[in-house]
Amino acid sequence: MLLDEIDKKLLEYLQADSKKTTKELSNKLNLSVTAVYERVKKLEREAVINNYVALLNKEKIDKNFVVFCHVKLVQHTQDYVIKFEKEVANLNEVLECYHISGDYDYLLKVLVKDMAAYREFMVKKLTTINHIGSTQSMFVINEVKHTTTINF
């Protein structure tokens, strides 16, 4: 799907605040309510917009310990890879998992309450997955920037 400048503006606004009404958007864009409505519907239909979500404040719900964890597998046969990916995706504490280039195979973003919970996660969940060779944890000292907004 080809996006014109109005679509891009629209996506910019909706990425910042998806609760904006079509009326507000129509004012900002100098369009009618229906025109905006139909553009948004099209962006949803064409899956340019994946979904609408509420973002929570980690501190307020006592999950304020973020760790990036490198994982290396002992073997890289397809079965092991598929099994590992499936099992990791099922862990609630793992918000993100990437297969990456470099010294390690995977990079995981893990969110837990505190160091004790992370230890628990490592011992009882992550390292019980078979065929993990080694792991290396990098603890987040400070979150300098964190946005879900993609700029054009």
Partner DNA sequence: ACTGAAATGTCAAGGCC
Partner DNA sequence: GGCCTTGACATTTCAGT
Between 33-45 and 5-16, two packed helices, what is the crossing angle to 10 degrees?
A: 80
Residues 106-135 interacting with its own copies (rule: CB under 8 A): 106-107, 111
* Angle, CA 127 vertex, CA 86 and CA 125 arms, to 5°: 70
x-or-dash string of contact with DNA, 34-53, rule CB under 7 A? xx-xxx-x------------
Single out the residue of 4, 5, 79, 89 in contact with its own copies (rule: CB under 8 A): 89
| Beta bridge partner(s), residue 106 | 71, 99
Does 91 bind DNA (CB under 7 A)? Our answer is no
| Residue whose CB is less far from its own copies, 124 or 146 | 146
CA neighbor of 140 nearest in space, from 73, 58, 72, 60: 58
Return d(Cα 120, Cα 114) in angstroms, integer: 10
Contact in structure between 42 and 10 (CB atoms under 8 Å): no
Q: Which of its own copies, DNA, none does residue 1 bind (CB under 5 to 8 Å by kind)?
A: its own copies
Q: Which of DNA, its own copies, none does residue 80 bind (CB under 5 to 8 Å by kind)?
A: none
Return d(Cα 91, Cα 118) in angstroms, integer: 13
Q: Which of its own copies, DNA, none does residue 129 bind (CB under 5 to 8 Å by kind)?
A: none
Number of residues that bind its own copies (CB under 8 A): 61
| Residue whose CB is less far from DNA, 1 or 56 | 1
Residues at the interface with DNA (CB under 7 A)? 6, 21-24, 31-35, 37-39, 41
